[in-house]
Amino acid sequence: MRPSDNKILFAGPVGAGKTTAIASLSDIPPVTTDATASDMTLDRKGHTTVALDYGVLMLDDDTKVHLYGTPGQERFDFMWDILSQGGIGLILLLDNTRPHPIRDLQFFLKAFDKLLQDAPLVVGITKTDLAATPTTAHYAGILETLGLRPPIFEVDARNREDIKTLVCALLYSIDPGLEG
Amino acid sequence: MSVSTPAEPITVLTAGMDERKLALFRMAFRLHTLHRYSLASDYPGTPQVAIVDVDSASGWQVWQQYRQQHPALPALIVTAYPSDHAPSLQMVKPVRMEKLFPLLRQLLAAPGHDTAVAASAVPAAVAAAMAPPAPASSPAPSLPPSLPMHGDAAAANPAPRSGQRRTLQRFHPAGTIYGLLVAAARQKQPQQLHCEQRLFATVDPVQGQVALYTTLSSVQQLCELNGLRLGAEVLAAPPGDEPTLRLPLPTLLWQVALWSCRGRLLAGIDPDTPLRLRQWPNLTRLAPLPGALRIAGLWSRTPTSLRVAVSLLKMEPGPLCNFIAASHALGLLEPAGKANEAASAATRPATPAPAPLPPARQSLLSRLLGRIKNL
């Protein structure tokens, strides 16, 4: 495995919490390419990630795990395949207050279909305190029809423990026997 | 000895009990409606009967001390390890209300049964039988010895000694709060639940909400009791009283499962039956269970029996049994039968059994896991 292959991808629509999640794990101040929101994101955030977020977890002096937050806007879809190469897994954050979160789920599953053939998926549902539905069971039902049974957790992207749980679930999805 | 009238509590002395055990009996007494019982520590009356727990660290010395101090007071011995030579009436744990109160009444009506009035010393046969406590000799399933524990389950569950065989205790939901709530959760209409003829909760299984009419600490204590008088009926109208607490039904089901199961294997589950999770529990919003992420990781991808899971995860069976009861309560666990295999075949090919990772990859992921846990 090339060193650059040690990466975890965070994907999801604008405002789902990708930037915050990466910041809660990264050993360095996350590199975030924010800009004024374009028309498609204007209603949700004043600023949004237009290219990507980047953070890193140092395992030792020579080993890093890169954390990439992929942009939520479709016009950057050319980047998703590049970032996906060799990824450990995908953490998909979905904002439950958006108009059609199930459509968001389907959109990102399709976008990362190639990665998900070999790498695990974990779904974090944010803002469930503001919008209780769809429930985790609803999402699970959609995923079940695709033959997927990933971990689906309600999370608060500002809560580091929640984000840690997502990453641990990702790793145990690969190997439940892992010792940490 | 005469039995007190309902207006006067029957004062019960206790020995060998910590606060948790006292709370259990206090709860049982509160729920009993035929006679009023009260712990001697709560009511300044003259004790009429005693309950002596001989399973504490002091063992049968508790009985000896009690008998020396109260040579004539009839006493009920409670123990998980009954003896044929016990010096008084015994009740085998777990404490079951339908047994406790008849035994107390028996002692109150015929205190002469206490054979230890003139014999304060513990019979040799009893002492021999009680130290150290012997495991229950029920036909409960046993599991082979496992390797030493590791990972997040290790902190809560020490590893068994090499060569030690473990006997699984069974958890029977009938007559328990767990059984009551799980049954209500499976209904299609809102339910009103009663415990010992008192309103306990209303459950809306469709909305996934529950309104409790008692405190959570009381629920926890009730979870330690079997043989409760329970009832459920369709909720025709909201109860007049305000509930003590409203909370999501899955949250309560999961917590009640952990409080009730306590490492025992749910009745009806065979240790050799492959199990599979239909969906991961929402573990960020449920009570912590050691090893839950690992267990869910295994059972969501590969149908595995309890026996195999113990070996694969190198875990004690207790957390696995707790996980089984909790995920069953949420309706997430299914036996991996042929019907389910057919359903899986209609979708994406079933996830293959986990293949060993290359050592370098495993090392990286293990280090990453350790790093994340220590953040």
Is B155 part of any domain? no
- H-helix or E-strand containing B204? strand B198-204
Q: Does B206 touch chain A (CB under 8 A)?
A: no
SS3 B2: coil
Q: Does B301 touch chain A (CB under 8 A)?
A: yes
Closest CA to A36 of A47, A21, A49, A50: A47
Per-residue pLDDT, B116 = 41
Residue B202: count of CB within 10 angstroms of its CB: 20
- Judge if B105 and B199 occupy the same domain: no
Out of A168, A169, A175, name the one closest to residue B357 (CB): A175
Is B149 part of any domain? no
Q: What is the DSSP letter of A6?
A: -
- Judge if B86 and B175 occupy the same domain: no
Contact A165 B300 (CB under 8 A): no
Which residues are within 8 A (CB) of A4 and not within 5 positions of it... i.e. 6 or more apart? A66, A86
- Mean pLDDT throughout B309-337? 93
pLDDT > 70 in chain B, percent: 76
Greater confidence (B31 vs A37) lies with B31
How many angstroms separate the CA atoms of B233 and B202, rounded? 10
Residue B152: which pLDDT band, with cuts at 50, 70 and 90? very low
| Structural domain boundaries, residue B41 | 10-130
| Set of chain B residues whose Cβ sits within 8 Å of the Cβ of A165 | 283-284, 293
Convert B216-242 into a string of H (helix), E (strand) and C (coil): HHHHHHHCCCECCCEEEEECCCCCCCC
- Judge if B70 and B203 occupy the same domain: no
A residues 37-66 closer than 8 Å to B (CB): 57, 59-60, 63, 65
Q: What is the DSSP letter of B351?
A: P
- Mean pLDDT throughout B135-162? 38
Domain boundary among B100, B130, B160: B130
Is B148 part of any domain? no
Out of B301, B360, B371, name the one closest to residue A59 (CB): B371
- Judge if B77 and B187 occupy the same domain: no
How many angstroms separate the CA atoms of B354 and A57, rounded? 26
> Does residue B126 register a pLDDT over 50?
no
Per-residue pLDDT, B36 = 82
B residues 103-132 closer than 8 Å to A (CB): none
Tokens of A121: 């998926």
Type of residue found at A68: Y
How many angstroms separate the CA atoms of B261 and B319, rounded? 10
Domain boundary among B130, B153, B179: B130
Residue ranges of chain A with per-residue pLDDT less than 50: 1, 39-40, 42
Domain boundary among B78, B103, B130: B130
Contact B31, B198 (CB under 8 A): yes
Give B275-340 as a DSSP string: EEESS---GGGS---TTHHHHHHHHHHS-B-HHHHHHHHT--HHHHHHHHHHHHHTT-EEE--HHH
Contact B168, B310 (CB under 8 A): no
Which residues are within 8 A (CB) of B116 and not within 5 positions of it... i.e. 6 or more apart? B63, B67, B75, B87, B88
> Does residue B339 register a pLDDT over 50?
no
Residues A40-86: pLDDT tens digits?
454 555 555 566 889 999 998 889 999 999 866 666 677 777 777 77
Per-residue pLDDT, B85 = 73
Q: How far is B281 from chain A (nearest CA, A)?
A: 8
Mean pLDDT of chain B: 79
- Judge if B269 and B326 occupy the same domain: yes
**CA-CA distances (angstroms) from residue A70 to A57, B83, B187?**
17, 67, 43
Out of B150, B294, B347, name the one closest to residue A172 (CB): B294
- Judge if B86 and B193 occupy the same domain: no
How many angstroms separate the CA atoms of A21 and A13, rounded? 13
How many angstroms separate the CA atoms of B198 and B173, rounded? 20
Interface test with B, best of A172, A173, A174 (most B CBs within 10 A): A172
Contact B84, B46 (CB under 8 A): no
Is B250 part of any domain? yes
Type of residue found at B31: L
Q: Which residue of B has its CA nearest to A159?
A: B284
Q: Which residue has the tokens 């992929």?
A: A70
- Judge if B219 and B84 occupy the same domain: no
Greater confidence (B29 vs B330) lies with B330
Per-residue pLDDT, A47 = 59
CATH number at residue B83: 3.40.50.2300
Residues B52-96: pLDDT tens digits?
988 776 777 788 888 888 888 999 998 877 777 788 888 887 777
- H-helix or E-strand containing B178? helix B177-185
Per-residue pLDDT, A51 = 64
How many angstroms separate the CA atoms of A75 and A27, rounded? 30
- Judge if B191 and B124 occupy the same domain: no
Is B318 part of any domain? yes
pTM of the model: 0.70
Beta strands B265-266 and B37-39, pairing class:
unpaired
Residues B236-250: pLDDT tens digits?
888 888 999 999 999
Is B353 part of any domain? no
Lowest mean pLDDT among A164-173, B117-126, B150-159: B150-159
- Judge if B322 and B261 occupy the same domain: yes
**CA-CA distances (angstroms) from residue B11 to B50, B115, B225?**
8, 21, 21
Count of domains observed in chain B? 2
- Judge if B16 and B114 occupy the same domain: yes
Is B362 part of any domain? no
Is B189 part of any domain? yes
- Judge if B106 and B176 occupy the same domain: no
- Judge if B233 and B311 occupy the same domain: yes
Residue A100: count of CB within 10 angstroms of its CB: 11
Beta strands B75-79 and B90-92, pairing class:
parallel
Contact B280, A151 (CB under 8 A): yes
How many angstroms separate the CA atoms of A164 and B158, rounded? 25
Residue B7: which pLDDT band, with cuts at 50, 70 and 90? low
What is the ipTM score, two decimals?
Answer: 0.89
How many angstroms separate the CA atoms of B67 and B13, rounded? 12
Q: Is the dihedral of CA A7, A13, A15, A17 positive or negative?
A: negative
- Mean pLDDT throughout B138-153? 40
Out of A146, A150, A176, name the one closest to residue B313 (CB): A176
Closest CA to B249 of B190, B313, B307: B190
